[in-house]
Structure 1
Amino acid sequence: MRRHVLSLATLATLPVMAEAPIETLTVTADLRQSALERLPTSATVLSVDELKDEGAEHLEQALGRIANLNWSGGSSRPRYFQIRGVGEQEEYRGAPNSSVGFIVDNIDLSGIGMAASLYDIAQLEVLRGPQGTRYGANALAGLIYVKSQDPTELFEAGTELSFGEDNQQTYAGYVSGAADEDARWLYRFSVQQHSQDGFRDNLYLGRSDTNQRDELTLRAKWRWQPSEQFQADLAFLHANLDNGYDVWTLDNNGFDTLTDEPGVDSQRTNGASLDLQWAINDRVSLQSITSWANTHGRHAYDGDWANDEYWQGRECPLYDENWNVIGTGPCEYSYFWDKSAKRDTLTQELRLASADAGRIFADTTDWLVGIYFNELQEGNDLDSRYNGWPDQVLKSDYRAKNLALFGQLDLNKGRWDASAGLRLERRQSDYRDDAGEAFSPDENMWGGHLSLGYQLSDSQHGYLRLARGYKAGGFNMGLPEVLKPHAQFDTETLYNLELGLRGRWLEGRLRSDLALFYMDRRDQQVEASLQDPDNPQRFFLYTNNAGSSDSYGLEWELNYQLSTVLELYGSLGLLKARYKSYRVTEADGSETDLSGRELAHAPNFQYALGATYRGEQGLFANLNLNGKDAFYYSDSNDSRSDAYATVNAKIGYEATRWALYLWGRNLTDERYGVRGFYFGNEPDLDWAPKQYVRYGDPRQLGITFNYDFY
């Protein structure tokens, strides 16, 4: 592994200038929109300035800064996330059941996180650990929340242009202001068009754009505030990602492909949310949050990872009608997998909460009660071809309804504060496909939290939190006889114990956020796969329950405003996640004992270091380093990634209304795996299992120009 050293020795000679305290951040994903310093759970909040300083255009480019958050590269943009080793690596079966919540402006996009442009974003929030009281079954591991900029009373507008290697072209703009003289109607619109070739050269087709990214994002927000007692916020999102998917190679070279049928990874999402808030009186307030999302997606790939000419130049065994080898001859291997999906999601939440005069227990305790409804419908159309013949062809329909009641009490007395929350949830689901399989499980679940906090001083706060999260059980379709015992799997529960300390020191210039945690997972749901020995091009993907697993570790974030022109920051995530008991079924019916092994996509450490210089004369510079330990790609085999680190930089000049930057990502051109498989995909090798790796983006240099109108 390459080593990267960031020397900060010269920084000690810089003068500490007038006090420049770090801004106070509010967590909007919390029920009460608490200040980060008083939030009793591990969380990261990245502000718009922090995201811009590192040049992050998409969520993918911000993930390396967030402790104990990993992602699976099985799609053109990150769609599947893991927090503290909990989460999905892919979803091919058509019955979504997310462990990590993903929400954009109150629009639930859990499991389809590709629609995550960061242009015109106010902040990015990540809540770690089960969020059972607030979000229920879709937040067993935690939550990712993207909040865009709100409308402004004063008129403002801006534009951004970016050009870079890999034929990147990005055009963006926004406008915001008041629609009437009294500023009761406010609006904001933004648009971004991003395109690039995708860092792959298809040597067979002679093209450099078979892995292209062609992404359009439109956002709109309206705010109506006719009085101080009422406010309505309407948000709209349109994201159209027309991306290619051509990332796998037989020789693992990473960036030179040979496919004759390049894949597709497209997603078109339209979504909206309506947030209504009434201050009924000085004792009670009412809030209604309604959201809707419609997504059409297609994920397709060339499963043989080559072309007819390549395979005909290879020698393969020839078989008779009884599958006896009778000689060798040119290989015949062509496979294309293609799934189209349509998803509709509708959510409705009502909250009744105490106002200042409505506190109970001697005016020490705020209360909140609510009801939540979610309906998800998804239809899938799978069509795969093997050597020109239909292979796996399936149409399916899935529907799930969730109804929940929840409540929370928040006590504040002197230096002490405490919180208690409970959520009761009823889930009903129904699945049907044209192969004749049908499942209709329903279940009752519950989760919640207890926390106790103490204000050690005016600027330091400690807390202890116990939380219970849950994830609904489900079913597996299309299983062979050897896997029939795994046709259904049980609800998973997760108990999380956390000790945290947040605070500011050195007159507010140093901010530290430390959390220690232990997690106990019961009936853990594990993704597994089995290659069909009779039809090696096919895989049986299923979920089963491990007996149990446990995890422990820490998250630590630091921000230090060394002077008025220089800020240092960093994060560290340590994680030890392992099975206490788990046996996986093999093709011959035997079992492999994985008890004691680490979980997939759960690196032992992740870290980030960075420095931002913003001079008084307009000069700007940012240098940051992100690193990650090796991890298992899957729970079904021992295939692992390599540890790696990437270096990124951004320099430029900032004037009052305009700015010009030069930037570079992965400056050392580190080759790092983001997804891997271990299976047989080469008939000339008699389908012998082998590790195949998909790599992240190589080095890229570019330029960005911003102009703002005021």
Structure 2
Amino acid sequence: MRLRGPWSRLLPSGLWLLAACGPALAAAPETVEVTATRLPERVDVVPADVTVISGDELRARGAADLASALALVAGVEAPSGGDTGPAGAVPSFWGLHEFDAFLLVVDGVPWGGALNPSVPTLDLNDVERIEVMKGATPVMFGATSFVGVIQVIHYPAGHAANQVSVGVGDQGSARGALSLALPDIGQYRQSLVLDGESLGYADKRKAVWNGHALYRGSAPLWGGAFRIDGDITFQRQVPPSPVELQGIALTTLTPRDANDNPSDARIDENRYHAALHYTVSTAAGDWSTTLSFAHSDIIDIRGFLRPTLLDDGSTPNADSQNQRRLIQDGYFDTHLSREPSDNLSFIWGLDALYGFGKQASVNGAYYVPLNGTMLAPPTTSLHVDEVNTMSDTRLFVGQYVQVDWKPAARLDVLAGLRLNETLENKTSAHLDGFDPMADTLDRNKKNVVRPAGTIGASYKAWRDGADGATLYADYRNAFKPAAIDFGPDNTPAVLNPETAQSYEAGLKGKLFAGRFDYQAEAFLQDFKNLVVATTDALGNPVLKNAGGERLQGVELETHTQLDQDLLLAANISCHDAKFTQFTVDDNGTPVNVSGRQLTLSPHVLASAGLIYIPPAGLEGSITVNYVGSRFLNEENTARAPAYATLAASFGYRFAGWRLSFTAQNLTDQRPPVTQSEFGAGSYYLLDGRRLFVDLTKAF
């Protein structure tokens, strides 16, 4: 692809400035990661596409959510919102925009476990760094992801950003945070994070209220190191209404920010999480164990317009759900790492991922005027059309081994194998509000034993001081049990796992005395056995394994240290994501869409950012993101145009204080960015402009 306009001048200009700086600048320090290997490994050696974002950069850019945090990662989108509410997000990797296709990890623990990533409760205060890895992790984390991993790593116990901040924003928004290292108690080290926020939106009903606390402690124990984490989140959301697709464009019958939800709509969640970690050196190697458990209570009340968009003044034109949900996640991992020689290391371990979800959904129907002039009735006043209940227990158990072998000074081979056993037991019931004879009770279970693995290699083709170039390639074979969307429908089947095979090859390295780093990659991934939403002989919604997809493309990510305190980041991605086997049945007429583009998958993504972080005085950042045109429907008849967003932050540091201004989506773009899993042919819009002024005091 040929870049035009400002994009064509951005990278050459940055390189010219870099060359003009001469040798006075120090080379950037080597960056390490732990997501791909569990053990610290230099990013330029790992045969995978890994990006590390420092906490200092996040704070300088005012990045408070995934969308802004990942804005400068090549080929990744993470627009806020979606079916989990305005506090959630649906990240996309390699052109695949699915709520469950990626893995979210927080401090080494899968955040959402065997069910779905718990994005709404993710907190980015007091973050030391974020690691983003493209592709699956079939060995280290098992049957949990296909296209990417996002790992958020907070400061360890006894360390913190050590600051307190308060902020006010537009739409009546406000926030505050405190992070500090608490006094040591003997050899016991500890730290605490407290934060809360209230967010308003152009849709006056849409809102987020969030309160969060994180406590971390660590101490030497029995010759090793013990660590404890405790995390509590109390969250209240009022969801927006997605906009319906009418023909080949979004409908204009409803105002852009109309909220058609029932008057009692809300998504409330209380989440409690605890984790224990222990690491000790033994004669056999370093032994590490992690045990975690999380419990969530959720109330989910909302409604969705029917695609007919009927508005005759009385006939129901929307469906409601009033859900009570209980979610429990457990994680256990124990592994031994050993380095018998300078050129050989390995990890052997076993883990278990537990998930339990229990839900009761009381469903009804209601009328709401499409022009948004009247509030819809509460769900408690509606006739109960049906009650759908579900109880699902999952256990993913695995044994794994990973070997890192350096047969030559320039060659590094990383290979891993895992034996997975996934067990799922599901009980579903349907109580019909009109015909008791239509009541059903289903019990289904499935047990799958399957290997998964990866093999990759990197070769240092050239090295000169801090500069160099490394070629790498890898192959990954992964599978993942079908996700549970916790929607209103009765879906009793336990489906077969979805599978994926991916191939990657790339070049990464540094130039100009280490001040310019780059990573270019080509990838190809084939999905099979994908879950397809369709209808049965009676017209009832059902899910089945009947789909296939192919993702392929190239991505380029660069970082240029123009000055000791000035960083230029620029990237571009070209994706081609297509259905290889897929049939949609939205209106009772099956349509084969094989060979067509995936929904909301642009061919081109690009971004650029300039970040200035001096130790004192003025600081700031500017970030531009470009998203190419994409299709809204599987038939590829409804195209959404390309758009660009602008974010900026400006601040001033003085005597331990920092006054900052942050703006997200300054151009106030409102395109469709996420498709609802529940409302047929409905789309959530990008959040509008967000402005904040914050005052921070460092300790």
TM-score range, shorter chain: 0.7 to 0.9
Q: Secondary structure at the match of 2:44?
A: helix
The aligned counterpart of 1:94 is none
> Counterpart amino acid of 2:477?
R
In structure 2, do the counterparts of structure 1 residues 587 and 78 end up closer, same or farther at CA, with 3 Å as the change threshold?
Answer: same
Contact kept, 8 Å, 1:262 with 1:302, in 2: the verdict is no
The answer to whether the aligner puts 1:348 opposite 2:332 as a matched pair is yes
Instruction: Find the residue that maps to 1:132 and give its secondary structure.
Output: coil
Query: Take 1:257 and 1:704, find their aligned partners in 2: how far apart are those partners?
Result: 30
Corresponding residue to 1:394 among 375, 388, 394: 388
Residues 277-297 of structure 1 show CA distances to partners (whole Å, capped at 9, x for unaligned) of 11113x511111111111122
Q: Is the 8 A contact 1:224 1:233 kept in 2?
A: yes
Equivalent residue, structure 2, for 1:437: 442
Q: Does 1:416 align with 2:416?
A: no
Query: Counterpart in 2 of 1:263?
Result: 265
> Are positions 1:34 and 2:24 aligned together?
no
Instruction: State TM-score, norm by structure 1.
Output: 0.83
Query: In the TM superposition, what are the counterparts of 1:428-577 in structure 2 within 5 Å?
Result: 428-435=423-430, 436-458=441-463, 459-472=468-481, 489-523=495-529, 525-528=530-533, 540=541, 542-546=543-547, 548-577=548-577
Deviations 1:599-637 (A, max 9, x none): 234322222101123457611121110121233445477
Equivalent pairs counted in the alignment come to 644
Supply the distance in 2 between the matched residues of 1:240 and 1:226 (Cα, whole angstroms): 33
1:697 equivalent in structure 2? 687
**Matched letter for residue 471 of structure 1:** K
Distance 1:48 1:554 in 2: 28
CA contact (8 A) 1:192 1:217 kept: yes
TM-score, reference length from structure 2: 0.85
Partner of 1:325: none
Verify the 8 A CA contact 2:556 2:572 in the aligned structure 1.
yes
Amino acid at match of 2:219: W
Give the whole-Å Cα distance in 1 for the aligned partners of 2:571 and 2:619. 22
Q: Is contact 1:625-1:648 (8 Å) kept?
A: yes
* Structure 2 unmatched runs, 5+: 244-250, 367-381, 431-440
Asked if residue 192 in structure 1 is aligned to residue 195 in structure 2, the reply is: yes
> More deviation in 639-648 or 427-436?
639-648
Cα distance in 1 between the residues matched to 2:488 and 2:613 = 58
Q: 1:264 to 1:274 in 2, by over 3 A?
A: same
Match of 1:84 in 2: 94
Q: How far apart are residue 475 of structure 1 and its match?
A: 9.6
In structure 1, what residue type is equivalent to 2:225? Q
* Post-superposition offset of 1:541: 5.3
For residues 650-671 of structure 1, the C-alpha deviation after alignment (integer angstroms, 9 at most, x for no partner) is 1121235121112211111112
Matching residue of 2:438: none
Q: AA paired with 2:71?
A: G
1:72-91 CA-partner distances (Å, limit 9, x unpaired)? 723322344332244634xx
Partner of residue 45, structure 1:
52
Given residue 701 of structure 1, which amino acid in structure 2 is its aligned partner?
A: L
CA distance in 1, matches of 2:632, 2:63: 26
Aligned: 1:365 with 2:344: yes
Write the distance in 2 (CA, Å) between the matches of 1:402 and 1:151: 30
Amino acid at match of 1:391: D
Question: Is residue 344–residue 377 contact of structure 1 (8 Å, CA) maintained in 2?
Answer: yes
Q: Distance in 2 between matches of 1:468 and 1:13?
A: 43
> Which residue in the other structure is 2:322 paired with?
338
Whole-Å separation in 2 of the counterparts to 1:165 and 1:478: 33
Residue by residue, what CA displacement relative to the aligned partner does 1:189-209 show, whole Å, maximum 9, x if unpaired? 001111022331xxxxxxx3x
CA distance in 1, matches of 2:624, 2:302: 33
Deviation at 1:169, TM superposition (A): 0.6
Q: Judge which range, 50-59 or 61-70, deviates more.
A: 61-70
2:75 corresponds, among 68, 75, 87, to 68
Given residue 274 of structure 2, which amino acid in structure 1 is its aligned partner? A
Deviation at 1:694, TM superposition (A): 2.4
SS of 1:240's partner is strand
Kept after mapping to 1: 8 A contact 2:321/2:488: no
Contact residue 361 and residue 488 of structure 2 kept, 8 A: no
- Residue in structure 2 matching 1:102, options 101, 104, 115: 104
Q: Distance in 2 between matches of 1:277 and 1:573?
A: 40
Q: CA RMSD in A?
A: 3.3
Counterpart of 1:463, as a letter, is Y
In structure 2, what is the Cα distance between the partners aligned to 1:195 and 1:478?
Answer: 27
For residues 304 and 154 of structure 2, the distance between their equivalents in structure 1, rounded to whole angstroms, comes to 38
Indicate yes or no: 2:170 matched with 1:161: no
* 1:602 corresponds to 2:601: yes
Q: 1:315 aligned to 2:312?
A: yes
Pair 1:144-2:150 in alignment: yes
Cα distance between partner residues in 1 of 2:387 and 2:232: 31
CA shift digits 1:493-551 (9 cap, x unpaired): 2111111222111011111122211112233x1442559998xxxx72524322x3322
Could you tell me which amino acid in structure 2 is paired with residue 339 of structure 1?
Q
Partners of 1:479 and 1:487 within 8 A in 2? no
Tell me how far apart the structure 2 counterparts of residues 678 and 479 of structure 1 sit (CA, whole Å): 11
Give me the whole-angstrom Cα distance separating, in 1, the residues matched to 2:630 and 2:531. 16
* C-alpha deviation, 1:418, in angstroms: 0.5
1:323 match = none
Segments of 5+ residues of structure 1 without an aligned counterpart are 90-97, 201-207, 317-329, 682-688
**Secondary structure in structure 1 of the residue aligned to 2:256:** coil
Over 3 Å counting, the alpha-carbon distance change for 1:151 and 1:51 in structure 2 is same
Deviates more, 1:643-652 or 1:565-574: 565-574
Change (3 A) 1:297 1:640: farther
How far 1:572 sits from its partner (Å)?
A: 2.0
Q: Following the alignment from structure 1 to structure 2, what is the Cα–Cα distance between the partners of residues 78 and 560? A: 32
1:621 counterpart residue number: 620
